[in-house]
Amino acid sequence: MGICDQRVVIITGAGGGLGRAYALSFAAEGASVVVNDVRREAAQAVVDEILAAGGSAIADGGDITSMQGAQGIVDAALAAFGEVHVLVNNAGVLRDRMFISLTEEDWDQVMQVHLKGHFCLANILGRRWRDAAKSGRKPQAAIINTSSGAGLQGSIGQSNYAAAKAGIATLTLVQAAELGRYDITVNCLAPAARTSMTESAMPDMVKKPESGFDAWDPMNVAPLVVWLGSSLARGVTGRCFEIKGGEISLADGWRTGQIRDKGARWDAAELGEVIEGLIAAVSPPQKVYGT
């Protein structure tokens, strides 16, 4: 018996890296898995691994960045397994350049895959789960989004990616607040692992060690994702987890700091001293990656 027996999971970008690790781990815990990736052969290879281990999975090459494509993915899941309980939004791309060197295409493609890619499937499944809840059938559904340290702290040369990932973190908060009434949990994570994206951005840092614990192994992240997708995590929603190797923490987001109230409109010339006092009263933000 696994902690995800009888649950059906859609995982995007699951043909390699973190997505593959999630797919294998969900299947090992009893879930039926829809392995979605635009690289259909890569998705099928992961499915073959799952089937060889006695698990249940199908490959899907549908487009997550359109409602039509997302509906096709959901339809394939329903045809194969009858229901969907968990969505793991994992797929992503990089188009790294310094901000003033970015092209419109660089910006749009990252926003399309990350932000719109997180919207389409979640919107379709969210409506399905809402309708189930209203009809008296508790969906016990879970959405797991993927933010990034770049989205939480910023990252030099990744303004498009960082902006998209920050948007995903905030999207998670709103989804959790709105969807909780329908028995849907929504969480996000900022994982650190060896993937095709991190190998292209920082190959020396994520290189597999010759011996000892491999802190960058994607399988290190998978247990948290599987737990969040299980019924064991029903009381956890609206959270952003950071995880790397054996380290796990909760990110603490923006909060309203100290307030200075004049009781009247401020004069621009007097604000310098006020702002200096407000800055001195709070902890400094974490540094932007790369600074």
Residues annotated as catalytic (active site), given as ranges:
148, 161, 165
CA distance 56 to 47: 8
DSSP class of residue 260 equals -
Q: Which residue has the tokens 């593959």?
A: 20
For residue 234, give the 3-state DSSP assignment. Answer: coil
CA distance 236 to 158: 30
Q: Which residues of 201-226 are buried (b: 16+ CB within 10 A; e: fewer)?
A: beeeebeeeeeeebbbbbebbbbbbb
Q: What angle do CA 37, 39, 45 make, to 5 degrees?
A: 85
Strand partners, 155: 289
For residue 184, give the 3-state DSSP assignment. Answer: strand
Provide the H-helix boundaries in 11-136.
17-28, 40-52, 67-81, 104-111, 117-134
CA distance 219 to 129: 29
CA distance 225 to 144: 7
CA distance 57 to 52: 11
Q: DSSP letters along 110-175, please?
A: HHIIIIIHHHHHHHHHHHHHHHHHHTT----EEEEEE--HHHHH-BTTBHHHHHHHHHHHHHHHHH
